[in-house]
Amino acid sequence: MTIIPTTGAQEDAKAYLLTPEHTSSDRMAEIAPHRHCVVCGNAIGSEESFCDELCESRFRSAQRKQQILFAAFIILMALILFLPSIIKMSG
């Protein structure tokens, strides 16, 4: 095991980050409660899911496309699994 020596700057950075005035709970108290748009990541109100109608339509479109692809995948898997036995039974 190799031990890497630390420099004075690294020690100063650790001391700075561990000081009581730089705790994460203090920083979180300054930010108003909010969420982020699930499409673009912009900050929005805590009750909303999308920042505007364009992001909502993009999300719905992507969701619809994902559902179609999932249905096609299930149909393809069913054909792969059951088609050989159907062909064997008929022939």
Q: For 37-54, how does the pLDDT look when each residue is reduced to its tens digit (9 = 90+)?
A: 999 999 999 899 999 999
Query: Residue 33: which residues within 8 A CB-CB, separation 6 or more?
Result: 46
pTM of the predicted protein model: 0.58
Token pair for residue 5?
A: 């020596």
**29 — pLDDT class (breaks 50, 70, 90):** low
pLDDT for 91 equals: 73
Burial of 59 (0-12, 13-18, 19+ CB in 10 A): middle
Q: How far, in whole angstroms, is CA 67 from its chain's centroid?
A: 18
**90 — pLDDT class (breaks 50, 70, 90):** confident
* Residue pair 17/37 in contact by the 8 Å Cβ criterion: no
Please name the residue that has the structure tokens 């992507």. 62
pLDDT for 62 equals: 98
